[in-house]
Amino acid sequence: MADEKKKNLHKRDDATQPIALPGVRRFQFFSNLRDRALTKNLNRLAMLGIGASLALDVAKPVATGDPQTIFCYECRACYATQDKCPAAISFQAELNVAARVGDHWRFIKAGGMKCIRCGSCVSFCVINLDLPRIFSRGQQRVMEAIEAGRVPRARIDEALRKGWFGREFIDRVVAWLDRADADVGRA
């Protein structure tokens, strides 16, 4: 009898489920089954993971000085800038996302280092983000990463070959490469 009672203790009792509408109960499959300890813990773990990645998504841009990038919901309306972008950048949203997650290579590949921050794309942004400011901050961070040796040399060479650095940055990048080569020669 005691065993039977203990067994039933962990079973879902339909009568205890909350009433959603008169005569209709809302069954809580994931919160009311104490005999599924592992599944329940996996659910908690998954929720923790989702919560942590969302927090990271917000914390990273705030910490790096790009909080506005959080508000871009990647609608891609800014792609309509097209030939109004003097640097021939077609994927402004890509630059915004790369700046948000701190992906320097993605920023370079999407043409971010050619942007002259003219602001022509701003009128196409449905939430009027300050795109020149975001792209400027992205450019600074890419240059800092290059000069700190955090962007692989092969990628810098590729970007130079493909013309992905605008005039404004070429001298600085080449100067850094010269310094790096001189350091290697001295070693």
Q: Which residue among 120, 141, 164, 173 contacts ligand SF4 (CB under 6 A)?
A: 120
87 or 177, CB closer to ligand SF4? 87
CB-CB contact of 107 with 95 (8 Å):
yes
Please state the three-class secondary structure of 117-139 as a single string.
CCCCCHHHCCCCCCHHHHHHHHH
Which tokens belong to 104?
A: 């320097």
Q: Which residue among 110, 125, 146, 156 contacts ligand SF4 (CB under 6 A)?
A: 125
Q: Which residue among 17, 67, 91, 132 contacts ligand SF4 (CB under 6 A)?
A: 132
Interface with ligand SF4 in residues 145-184 (CB under 6 A)? none
Nearest by Cα to 146 from 116, 179, 115, 97 = 179
Shortest separation between residue 137's beta carbon and ligand SF4, angstroms: 13
Q: Per DSSP, what are the bridge partners of residue 45?
A: none
Q: Which residue among 87, 145, 160, 180 contacts ligand SF4 (CB under 6 A)?
A: 87
